[in-house]
Chain A
Amino acid sequence: MANSTLVDTDTPELRESRPRFYELHRMTSKMVKDRLALYALIFLMLIFLSAILASIISPHDPTTGDIWNRLKPPSFAGGYSGHLLGTDQLGRDILSRLFYGGRVSLRIGFITVLFSSLVGIFFGLLAGYAGGKTDTIIMGLVDIQFAFPGMLVALVFVMVLGPSELHLTYALAFNGWMVFARMARSLVLTFRDGPLVEAAKAIGAKPLQVMIRHILPNIFAPLVTLFVLEVARIIGAEAMMSFLGYGIQPPSSSWGLMIGEGRAYFPMAWWLIVFPGMMIASTVLALNIFSNWFTTAIDPLQKGQSG
């Protein structure tokens, strides 16, 4: 706030009326009431923490195997007690690999969607705000890409660039930007001809300023919901690509790759596949529940529809 020195903004009256603070309070109290969303958020926090602190909390090194303890079942299923969730074909600790794998899966999910949302929102804002030919061309591109066999294009992409984490991120982002473009555009259209934009224009705001400073904050909430949903989708897509061998490459690991590598020893060593799959499913589920909650918390009118 550049003008905060001119007006005293810290009077009790103003503090009361601050919408953001009020929003946050309302949202947190709603969260406590909505048990499922609360559990989902706690679970997500645990997953994030375990990914960030993987190097501290992992009981073993994820890449060095213990050759004498290969394919040991989880300790609760009668295995060697030093490995809570068992070991893989090289004697590597599954639990530690889940922590490190989560790091990769989450990183790809977030960075990919960060790319695709930035590009998509930019083009969506542009199409919606400019209208006319710009709109036709951008939305035409979006339509074409929606008709694309997305996974197929991602596979070809990775084959061409060579499988690596960065290239996988590009390939998946290439298939995700248009979702954001379409949504941002439709949201802009509800604002473009309203008093908000008119007022901004009247005080002399340039088009880019109008788009970023005035329209974007108003359409932020639905975009956040979409962002979370897309992260969930990308985590699933990354898992599938890595499972097929066109994603993360060993010795690096992700949940999807763990399933792919464990397949050869399946069904004898079920723990190689069951645990990483459960991690993917529960993370994706928690993200979905969270985004559902976020939509209703931001916009009470939605409550009746999603009931």
Chain B
Amino acid sequence: MATYLLKTLLKALVVVLGVSLLVFVLTRSIGNPVNTMLPLGASTAERARLTHQLGLDKPLLAQLGDYVAGVAQGNFGESWWQQESALTVALRPLPFTIELSGIALVLSLVFAIPLGILSALKPRSLLDKVASTSSMLGICVPNFWLGLMLILIFSNLLHWFPTSGTGGWQYWVLPSVTLAVLPLGRITQIVRTAMLEQLRELYIVTARSKGLPEFWVVTRHALKNAGVQIVTMSGWELGRMIAGYTIAIEAVFGLPGIGSLIVDAIGQQDFPLIQAITFVIAICIVFLNILIDLSYPLFNPRVKFK
């Protein structure tokens, strides 16, 4: 267990460092951002002062040294755009995005698990065909467009839900449904394949022959063993939502999550903020992966961490 944790943390460190380094190199190769930060009529002296103030006049290696030293202390510097600690700005919208992604994941699991099980129990049945066709559709429809279509139908035509913004539960419905469609399709397929595999195993025959009701055979035996694959896929989907899908969804529904912040930070060319956001997201994903690994013994006690 200790070696496993050490190994995982080391790997995580490499990932986070790799992401940070890449973003550092990318942002520094853009040229001097001072030009876009100051008004058009700014004098050369003003430009030079701001460049110096931001530490952009130092050699690249020195900037990198400052950056790494800062990150080690959890300090990404001031956000140029918001004039406060970049890490604070990056962390503020994170709970919202995690909540939205979490709701979407739960929503997709609630439908994906029963659908996947039923498809696996009766492969090639009508339900199986409907389920796999709709999963395929869900995977192929671009989710930002789906969001706009849902707004068109449920907000503008039927007036059931608000078009955008935050507030009561009504505001969560359309964004979380939009976000849930893609994972729903993929998790249904994973549940189906994993269950098909498990239902072929001998222990299922044993369970059935000792007279266990089919419901318990499926849930307590097959589903539990398929759990590893389902949890892996769900965790992966959650990571993809936090680090990608929410960018477009938050833009469509005008939501104050980390996805909108990314787009704003990039639009403002705010280097410290971009670095802080990528760092925060990389940490989230690494943490999520560790959680998934640690959950394996719940489903299969034979899993050993090495």
Contacts and interface: CB of A to CB of B under 8 A. Distances in A.
Interface of A: 140, 143-144, 147-153, 155-157, 159-160, 232, 236, 239-240, 243-244, 246, 256, 259, 263, 266-267, 270, 273-274, 277, 280-281, 284-285, 288-289, 307
B263 A155 contact: yes
Interface stretch (B56-64, B103-111, B145-153, B219-227): B145-153
A54 B243 CA distance: 36
Interface in B124-151: 124, 136-137, 139-142, 144-145, 148-149, 151
A42 B243 CA distance: 36
Interface of A is mostly: helix
B12 to A, nearest CB: 8
B204 interface: no
A144 B26 contact: no
A239 B30 contact: no
Given A149-B243, A152-B244, A156-B278, A285 B19 contact: no
Interface in B241-278: 243-244, 247-248, 251, 262-263, 266, 269, 274, 277-278
B255 to A, nearest CB: 14
Nearest to A148: B19
Contacts of B286: 147
Contacts of A159: 30, 266, 269
B91 to A, nearest CB: 16
A57 B296 CA distance: 57
Contact of B281 (A149, A239, A273): A149
A281 B243 contact: no
Given A144-B15, A152-B243, A259-B145, 14 more contacts: A147-B15, A149-B19, A149-B282, A149-B285, A152-B278, A153-B19, A155-B263, A156-B266, A244-B248, A256-B142, A267-B155, A277-B149, A284-B141, A284-B142
B124 A160 contact: no
A105 to B, nearest CB: 11
